[in-house]
Structure 1
Amino acid sequence: MDRMSKNKRYLLAAAVPIIILLCMLAVPLSVRFMGTDILVETEPYDPRDIFMGDYVYLSYKISQVDIDKFPEELIREKDVKKLEKFRGHPIYVLLKKDGKFHVVDKVLLEKPSEGIYLRSRLEDMYVFIYRAENLDRLGRIPQYTTKEELDYYTKVYLDYNMERYYVSENTGKKLEAMSRAGALVARVKVYKGYHLLEELFPEETMNGAAVQY
């Protein structure tokens, strides 16, 4: 009896890492085989070191979301303490097709039952707090607001965890130049909020051919 118990424990110990590995693979495999292909535009990105040796950093147009795409309970809230409670809250970015590309339709606090959407988290609360502290009772922007300040009122940055595109070390200079110019299109496979960044290619081609390094 003791030997059988020991054997079960050994088998269980051996099975645990295999189960964990299978769980880790379940999501990307589901996205790969059941996901929907979408195209999203990149924006010019020019940090000091855009090309880090094994990946290129990307900026997407769907990452800069207009404030009016968010729920009213966030846009109209004037209590900063209530707004802070939303920090880190899961959000779901519902997408719609506009021409060749998918763009942001609206941002939801609850998981949608249908449609193509990406998961993210509400980390950039600065815009909402800035509005709460500076907009008047009617939600109007002061007339003396500069263009730079206007971005603080109207744009919210979202991170989709697909801002890095990995390549072989010391390669990808073409991608670096095109990323700086915002001339790349990303083909992304999406399934129930999860995603896989499949490939990048020049917008001028629009034929889905991957960039050659």
Structure 2
Amino acid sequence: MAQATPAKPFLLPAAIAATLVLCGLIAWMIESRAVILREGTEIVLQSEPIDPRDLLRGRYVVLGYPSQRIGGPLLDPLRAEIGEGETIDDATVYVTLRQGPDGYHEPVAVSLAEPDEGLFIRARATRVAHDMTWLFLDFGIGRFYTNEHRAPELERRMREGALTEIVVAVAPDGTAQIKALRQAGETIITEPLY
């Protein structure tokens, strides 16, 4: 005679709890991006075009920014901060920005420490010239995903130099999200919150 398998009353509550945790994690990821877009400080960066495709997420426009290449006297304080002969490849840096006369925000300082005040964007040092004369940065806003029909138009506009303004929302910790694409001050595409 076979023995009856005991009931496992904890399975249903455990499955429900796991589902709630996963749903909460996904909601948190979506909401953290939406909070930056909703409440972040808006800045405008000048862009440069590149044209690729992502097999998993579809068409996108790669955005390059002149402010991602920093050189000259702006690097002097950073050189002093890291010390002689040291490198900062793949390190987190903070770029302090100021709005220029043309309306675009430009770097005015770079540091390994988060600034106590002012507007700044957090970046990753992707490449450093061997003699620390140039620093190349990744702001985390290098791709703008759009639908299959809209991407070719955006790419064409960027190649022709017509689309040059990227509105970026920056959170208090320096995290950035693309908020809109503009041409001559006119908004072409606004990124939805959700």
TM over 0.5: yes
Confirm or deny: 8 A CA contact 1:58 1:179 kept in the other structure. Answer: no
State the Cα deviation string for residues 118-153 of structure 1 (Å, max 9, x = none): 11112212x1x235xxxxxxxxxxxxxxxxxxxxx3
1:62-211 equivalent positions in 2, closer than 5 A: 62-70=67-75, 72-74=77-79, 77-79=83-85, 82-83=86-87, 86-99=88-101, 100-125=103-128, 127=129, 129-131=130-132, 153=133, 155-183=134-162, 184-192=164-172, 193-202=174-183, 205-206=184-185, 208-210=186-188
Q: 1:26 to 1:110 in 2, by over 3 A?
A: farther
* Cα displacement (A) at 1:6: 4.1
Confirm or deny: 8 A CA contact 1:92 1:107 kept in the other structure. Answer: yes
State which of 44, 48, 59 in structure 2 corresponds to 1:54. Answer: 59
1:16-31 equivalent positions in 2, closer than 5 A: 16-31=21-36
Cα distance in structure 2, aligned partners of 1:200 and 1:122: 25
Does residue 1:34 correspond to 2:36, yes or no? no
Confirm or deny: 8 A CA contact 2:37 2:177 kept in the other structure. Answer: yes
Confirm or deny: 8 A CA contact 1:42 1:182 kept in the other structure. Answer: no
Equivalent residue of 1:161, what SS?
coil
CA RMSD of aligned residues (A): 2.7
Q: Percentage identity across aligned positions?
A: 21
Q: 1:61 to 1:182 in 2, by over 3 A?
A: farther
Residue ranges of structure 2 left out of the alignment (5+ in a row): 1-6, 190-194
Confirm or deny: 8 A CA contact 1:71 1:108 kept in the other structure. Answer: no
* Cα displacement (A) at 1:169: 0.9
Cα distance in structure 1, aligned partners of 2:116 and 2:147: 38
Equivalent residue of 2:150, what SS?
coil
Q: Which has the higher strand share?
A: 2
In the alignment, what sits opposite 2:18? 13
* Cα displacement (A) at 1:3: 6.2
* TM-score, L = length of structure 1: 0.70
In the alignment, what sits opposite 1:140? none
Which structure has more relative contact order (CA 8 Å, sep 6+)? It is: 1
Cα distance in structure 1, aligned partners of 2:78 and 2:136: 18
- What is the identity, as a one-letter code, of the residue corresponding to 1:195? A
Cα distance in structure 2, aligned partners of 1:88 and 1:113: 23
Q: 1:185 to 1:104 in 2, by over 3 A?
A: same
- What is the identity, as a one-letter code, of the residue corresponding to 1:95? L
Q: 1:200 to 1:28 in 2, by over 3 A?
A: same
How many residue pairs get aligned? The number is: 176
